[in-house]
A = this chain, B = another copy of it.
């Protein structure tokens, strides 16, 4: 094998026959057809890892049908000392997909636990299993005839549970600061069940309604964490507004990003704009439409600025494209729209488009991103992954958090552009404005996974970026398997006080260290790297 030696390949120290024994024991409980090993598990690799590499390899994928199944799986794995990696649908593409960080263990996949257990139309809340995809939830809401919406991400095939547990970003107002999730059920490392929030009380009806509990609230420990396996999630659903107004704003020049961000921040802070706007550059939008070769023929080097301008003109956008939606009564939306137009029109050369539609029209909006902002999941933007390589395209994100000021956002973008260009990578950028004060600046690095060398170069480039960004105070919101450690390493304040504190928790609640070891840089004592 030719796996690059910089990849942090950790293999479980458990004998292979123990894993096979455990998989047989699990099969007896959940059914042999729900245990996938050998070739069949290929679907659960990182889909963007070249075939010649063997990092992040599972020994077997198990698909439980109930929380009780999960408890038994955890108990069996712990008895045999086998690491477990849990996800949702396994669509964490760009961050490692379904693959585990530690090889040689067992993967729990929740495609079979994808039920929407209940929808309460009065309180706007649902209880779902961790494998329920955004599409599943959308379909269940529509089938129930509830006038509710679920906040969805760009691509709707993933599970809400998996997405949110990775701090995944969704776009509607409830996506802001991950307001969505309220109340978890979790299998802990001892195979017991725990409920967070008010669910810690028998018969308490506020489990999925109230955000805290008596005593310290532990819910966020299970987001980007490895302290338990989530088996149920309470999720909040927003009532459908009378209308949604989709707004698209283009600015001509890179530096117009400064007033664009500052105007947006003011309108967010004063409540004119809610939800999660995003600001995309020309190449990011181009990548959602067609592969690179359709826009620019030479494979080598980056796309020059003048070609970017040509592409922008072809698509009819600018250097930066802001999109957001207003949700509300028609008269309020109209006021907020006019206020937004007045504010953004002050940016020279800004162009503004907007459409206002009611619930009946949201499913057929022509722009897939408008559908996303209307809570209608779709897969259209998956085109992005094929920027290089088409059907064999892969991508990986570099996604630091940035304060929501024009200077900060622009400064970071120009720094990123220079870093990307130095590495021969097109700078695609999606600045996702997660609240009124900060954004996740997601830059997608794309590569042809059939070209192992180019893929390795892309991997290396991101690793360098993570470190370089950390030096200037920018940290990632989420990391690919290959650089979870490196990204966490940048959070070194107080001699890594945060990581030391969290790893004490890890050792206390998972003493064998078998639940998703190493996830986002948090290791159990047995596998903790020398640092």
Contact = CB atoms under 8 A, between A and B. Distances in A.
Contacts of A196: 498
Contacts of A270: 239, 241
A478 B217 CA distance: 12
B214 A497 contact: no
A188 interface: yes
Interface string A404-428: 1100100000000000000000000
Given A177-B179, A201-B492, A220 B223 contact: no
Interface in A182-216: 182, 188, 192-196, 198-206, 209-216
Contact of A215 (B122, B404, B521): B521
A472 to B, nearest CB: 7
Interface in A206-235: 206, 209-227
A488 interface: yes
Given A401-B210, A436-B124, A493 B224 contact: no
A473 B202 CA distance: 6
**How often does this chain occur in the complex, in copies?**
2
A373 to B, nearest CB: 16
A348 interface: no
A490 interface: yes
Interface in A356-409: 401-405, 408
A508 B504 contact: yes
Contact of A401 (B173, B179, B198, B437): B198
A214 B521 contact: yes
A19 to B, nearest CB: 27
A499 interface: yes
A332 interface: yes
A487 B198 CA distance: 12
Interface string A38-55: 000000000000000000
Contacts of A210: 401, 434-435, 437-438, 477
B225 A271 contact: no
A327 interface: yes
A470 B206 CA distance: 13
Interface string A121-157: 0111100000000000000000000000000000000
Nearest to A274: B271
Contacts of A216: 220-227, 502, 520, 522
Contacts of A206: 401-403, 438, 475
A198 to B, nearest CB: 6
A314 B513 CA distance: 66
Interface residues of A, number: 103
A528 interface: no
A8 interface: no
Given A221-B218, A437-B125, A505 B502 contact: no
Given A214-B521, A241-B270, A521-B214, A188 B501 contact: yes
26 contacts: A123-B265, A125-B437, A167-B212, A178-B212, A188-B501, A201-B490, A201-B492, A203-B472, A204-B401, A206-B401, A206-B402, A210-B437, A210-B477, A211-B435, A214-B224, A214-B521, A215-B522, A216-B220, A216-B223, A216-B224, A216-B226, A217-B223, A217-B224, A218-B221, A221-B221, A239-B269
Given A214-B479, A219-B220, A508-B509, 11 more contacts: A123-B405, A173-B271, A177-B211, A194-B498, A194-B501, A201-B490, A202-B473, A209-B401, A210-B477, A212-B223, A505-B509
Q: Which 6 A-B pairs have the closest CB atoms?
A: A216-B225, A508-B508, A203-B473, A200-B498, A194-B497, A217-B220
